[in-house]
Amino acid sequence: MNSELTMPTKISFKSNRVMVNGEVVRTAIFARFMVTEVQAELNEKYYLIFYKNALIYGEQLEKVQKGSFIDKMLNEGIILDQKHPLLPVLIPSTALAIPAKNKLFNHLQRNYSLVEIPCIAAALDSFFSTEQLFKPIDNIFFHYRRNGSFSKAFQSIHILSDLSPSLENLKERLHSREYSSYSSFYTTSSLSAIQKKDPLFAEFHCFTNRKNTEHFQILEKILKNEERYAEGLLLWIDDKRNLTSESVKSQTELALKYIPLENWILVLSHAKINPYKWVPEARTFIEGLMRDGQYEKAAVYLFPFIEDLPAEFHQVLNELWKHIDAEFVSSHLDEFLLLHQQVAQENDLKQFEPRILQLTAKLMEAHDLAVVCEKLKPIQKNFPHSIIIRKISEMAALMENPNRMMELGKFYADFNQYDQAIECFFWEMELNPADPAPVRQLCKMYQHKGMVNEASAYQQIYTQLRSDQETG
């Protein structure tokens, strides 16, 4: 996806009573969790942990420890880079506040169920020591035991064995005889039965195994039922196995309920899914930009799929080619070479010759003649009788002949390449100091460049040479 269409995602949060402003560098989704790496204005790096879209905690970290939960999310989760078009949907636009570290677990108990807190605690192993995490987890585990709720006690720590290697010691409790019946339930029951009894574990288990069709479908249903639409779209994009016209249509209907069409086109483009092939509304959007005179923006949207556009976009490309400014062409030469191949027709030579001239002139500003000839080959196939391309070929041949610099200089002048033309005419003047013709050309070139003094000087030399010829 073209970076010209996306802006960095800003984020603001209060940490230890200090407001921090930064940009999101990358984000990872892992079931109910999201971790966001933030580059602050003073180059500090923060990591923020979200659970069900709410900020849980965050701190400045120099690096992510291998084996930590953040490391797991960044390696096994669904990753969004800093230009991902769904980031503004996931990242809150209002200023956030990181809870005080010494009051965090009290805060968690007020806002989440007891069975969720051990799972949340496991995600914080980059910020708390193992001993600090064990205490609230133990309290919840033994609270359930004292109340005779052995099933809940087992659930509270069962999920941790897969989430955090730092809490590995908790596995010993899972293998004790009094919990054997609960343990066997997870190994012998169907996934749907596990989901009914332990939805938290089922969601994480399905996310970890989302490449499996059954797990993917259950996870997809969970996200839909909880209206976690952005995560659902990311799950679908991450899978790519179910990429059919029907699936794109259904996801488009869902996406357009809460994000603009423009953003959805960017999401698909970022995922390398061609919206112009699958989403009819995409063409309407491009045509709307063009009606508003936003040809360059329309072109940037189309560039990623310029070689794979449906036939009905042929007229759209023709209109773009007619209206795009030459300066914009020069900054997107490779894309416009591809666009040119898509719209070129032999019977359109008269129409396209001025555009070929513009394109060639811009190529000459950045490359030598050999490279220009090479880049023009695709166009030459479509327009073998182009006068412009024939001129370039002749110029390449003249480069090898120092006795024909006058001709080469005139060719350069035809393409408004005045500096190269001046070099050629100056060379010719050195070889034939009595000939006024190259001097006359030098005067013209400096006039074109707006260099009045230089033009006047060569005009005087030209006048003197002509006088010498007439009196000689």
What averages of pLDDT result for each successive group of 10 residues across the chain (472 residues)? Answer: 75 92 96 96 93 95 91 95 92 93 92 93 92 89 89 85 68 70 86 92 94 93 91 90 85 90 93 92 95 93 89 85 74 74 58 78 82 82 83 89 90 91 93 92 94 93 86 69
Question: Of 341, 328, 408, 348, whose CA–CA distance to 375 is shortest?
Answer: 341
**Maximum Cα–Cα distance for the chain, whole Å?**
123
Query: How far does Cα 272 stand from its chain's mean position?
Result: 10
Judged by phi (left if over 0) then psi (alpha if -120 to 50, else beta), residue 401 lies in: beta
Q: Which two tokens stand for residue 10?
A: 């800003």
Give domain limits for the chain.
1-98, 101-208, 227-273, 406-472
Count Cβ neighbours within 10 Å for each residue of 245-282 and write b for 16 or more, e otherwise: eeebeebbebbeeebebbbbbbbbbbbebbbbebbeeb
Question: What does residue 347 show for φ and ψ, rounded to 5 degrees?
Answer: -80, 0
pLDDT of residue 5: 76
Residues 6+ apart with CB under 8 A from 396: 369, 370, 373
- Cα distances from 236 to residues 36, 135, 216, 243, in angstroms, run 21, 38, 9, 9
In CATH, what number does 406-472 get? Answer: 1.25.40.10
pLDDT of residue 346: 41
Torsion of the alpha carbons at 411, 326, 291 and 309, rounded to the nearest 10: 90
- Kindly write down the DSSP assignment for every residue of 417-428, as one continuous string: -HHHHHHHHHHH
pLDDT of residue 39: 95
pLDDT of residue 168: 65
DSSP state of 198: -
Start-to-end CA span in the chain (Å): 69
E strands along 297-418, which residues?
Answer: none
Helices 261-270, 280-291: axis angle to 10 degrees equals: 120
Question: Of 173, 165, 142, 192, whose CA–CA distance to 68 is shortest?
Answer: 165
3-class state of residue 123 by DSSP: coil
Distance CA(274)–CA(267), nearest Å, equals 10
pLDDT of residue 347: 46
pLDDT of residue 161: 72
The alpha carbons of the chain give a radius of gyration, in whole angstroms, of 33
Q: Which two tokens stand for residue 216?
A: 């993917």
pLDDT of residue 361: 82
> How many beta carbons lie within 10 A of that of residue 418, not counting itself?
18
Q: Which two tokens stand for residue 328?
A: 């914009």
Q: Which two tokens stand for residue 383?
A: 């327009």
Asked if residue 335 lies in contact with residue 362, where contact means CB atoms within 8 angstroms, the answer is no
Q: Which two tokens stand for residue 366?
A: 């950045």
Question: Of 8, 7, 6, 3, whose CA–CA distance to 25 is shortest?
Answer: 8
pTM: 0.76
Q: Which two tokens stand for residue 210?
A: 């989302």
